[in-house]
Amino acid sequence: SDPSHIDLNYAIFEHTNGIYDEKTKLHYDNMFDAMVDASYAALEKAGYTKMPVIVSETGWASKGDADEAGASVNNAKTYNRNLRKRLKKRKGTPYRPDMVVRAYVFALFNENLKPGPTSERNFGLFKPDGSISYDIGFTGLKYSSATRCRFGASLNALVSACVVMFLLLHRLLPVT
């Protein structure tokens, strides 16, 4: 969250000149790949040369406090949509091009009761009531005027359906 040192476009997978790492002679188009490769480098230094890196949580806050630069619906939508596109390519990183990157989106639902800064409560693709926080291009969802996701069942069915969607995130669902 330091826009004076990190280009927002670099962080949200938008077009940028990227960063060239003089030490490794590798070029990075986005911060995500650079962070995954930093993990690979640390593991390698510790003697774990073949251990895969799986990103267990990644996301972007759709709302934040005044001092939380970049936390907005548009940036969250852009980050998560572009993350989907990146993962759908099923490719590696500049440092490990043959190791397909796997990642899990944080979070499925906003956590309106979570303490801390506003951003901590606003990472979800869905609001606590089941309505969509913002669209990242999943096909098959229907929207009412209140942007509620209608599956024709209870909130439990909504949660189950959304979990299945994420398990299939970069395999079956097309990016639009």
| Confidence at residue 137, expressed as pLDDT on a 0 to 100 scale | 81
CA angle 6, 103, 110 (to 5 degrees): 80
- Active site positions, annotated: 57, 111, 114, 120
| Confidence at residue 142, expressed as pLDDT on a 0 to 100 scale | 53
Task: Tell me the torsion sign for CA atoms 118, 160, 141, 129.
Answer: negative
Q: Give me the residue spans of the domains in the chain.
A: 8-167
Let me know: does 40 contact 47? Beta carbons within 8 Å: no
Successive 10-residue mean pLDDT values, the chain, 176 residues: 82 97 97 98 97 97 95 98 96 97 95 96 94 82 49 50 56 52
Q: Which tokens sit at 8?
A: 């927002």
* CATH homologous superfamily, domain 8-167: Glycosidases (3.20.20.80)
DSSP 8-30: HHHHTT-S---EEETTTTEEESS
| Confidence at residue 145, expressed as pLDDT on a 0 to 100 scale | 40
Stated length of the chain: 176
| Confidence at residue 153, expressed as pLDDT on a 0 to 100 scale | 44
CA angle 116, 120, 121 (to 5 degrees): 100
**How many other CB atoms sit within 10 Å of the CB of residue 26?**
16
